[in-house]
Amino acid sequence: MQDSVILVTTAVEPGERSEKRSISDLYGAALQRVGLLPMLYAGGDPQALVQHCDGLVLAGGGDIEPALYGQPHLSHHLSIHPVRDAEEFALLRAFCAAGKPVLGICRGLQVINVFLGGTLQQDITGHDGIPHSVTSVAGTQTACLTGGFFKANSYHHQAVAQLGHDLRASAFAGDGTIEALEHQSLPVLGVQWHPERMIPGLCADTPADHSALFTYFIQRNTKT
């Protein structure tokens, strides 16, 4: 597994002469810590990329266009990135079709849910910047990777409302907010917190060590 390549999605931002890509370097560091090679997405054909990569990280970032889950704009706090929405939907479609593992982080969990027909709460309180306790559901992949109860960081103002097709909730905050989800048959897992910021010696927002979440790609036996 040491040479397994994991594609990490990136934000699209305006630049002085052209658009640019950005991503926290903690994603790459977290993947490398467990023996995986990160590759940052900078465009390209999803069908070609899925042939060369062993897994996909849908990274954190802004908000998803509400029209994609059948809603008007109900919040004044939305940060919409239509290009990124289209890119990540196309990548997720390709990796799901190939049966290769996907890990969605924060926005990435929401992308998974909306892609599979679910909806979002466009603005919630009590989560953005406020660490809180999370309980995972016994017997789930999430519980195996994180343990049953932990303190998670929190950088989101949106949350899952209706679950997408063939998804199940695998962790909850104390207020009932869905904090993780898993596909019932595909190797697709999403978490609402940022595990790359919960790794001792790298970045430790909370005492929990979530480096094991990145071994998900190894446990799903991505190398063929």
106 is catalytic: yes
194 is catalytic: yes
Q: Which of 81, 87, 196, 210 is catalytic?
A: 196
77 is catalytic: no
Q: Where are the beta strands (DSSP E) in the chain?
A: 5-8, 11-13, 20-22, 37-40, 55-58, 102-105, 120-121, 132-136, 149-152, 159-160, 167-173, 178-183, 188-191, 198-199, 203-204
Q: 133 Cβ partners below 8 Å, 6+ apart? A: 149, 150, 151, 152, 173, 174
Q: Which of 81, 127, 157, 194 is catalytic?
A: 194
Q: Which of 53, 81, 106, 127 is catalytic?
A: 106
Catalytic residue positions?
106, 194, 196
